[in-house]
Amino acid sequence: VQLVESGGGPVQAGDSLRLSCARPGGTFNRDAMGWFRQAPGKEREFVGAIRWSTGNVYYSDSVKGRFNISRDKAKNTVDLQMNSLKPEDTAVYYCASQPAWHIISIRVLKAYSDWGQGTQVTVSS
């Protein structure tokens, strides 16, 4: 399953930005949709995930309270709304999917079978 992210760009600290993830030409057919990010020189890290069937969400501590994940079943998209952005949020953001929702595996990079190409978010102070 090919995923495509959009919406990245340069912003100022404190700004908001909304990323979107879609599967061109079809539906996700996955129940767990995750967002990850990778800053220069660092490992890819979990940001949050949403369960497609129920809308349940789970966030990493670093973004909890600032980021929100939502899904639009009509548009077949998953969005990442990022508020109060900080310079340390600068990274390439990826969406990913895995067939089933498990509270442990949604945080595990290797559990995801489908990935997008990533979109750059740069937050300047």
Task: Quick: pLDDT tens for 13-36.
Answer: 999 999 999 988 777 788 999 999
Report the pLDDT value the prediction gives residue 9, as an integer from 0 to 100.
98
Cβ density class 34-59: b for 16+ within 10 Å, e for less: bbbbeeeeeebebbbbbbbeeeebbb
pLDDT surpassing 90 at residue 45? yes
pLDDT of residue 43: 97
Q: Which two tokens stand for residue 59?
A: 């966030």
User: Could you tell me how far CA 95 lies from the centroid of its own chain?
Assistant: 5
Question: In the numeric block, which tokens belong to residue 53?
Answer: 């069937």
> 59-114, pLDDT tens digit by residue?
999 999 999 999 999 999 999 999 999 999 999 999 999 999 999 999 999 999 99
Q: How many residues does the chain have?
A: 125
**Share of the chain residues as helix, strand and coil, in percent rounded to the nearest 5:** 5, 45, 45
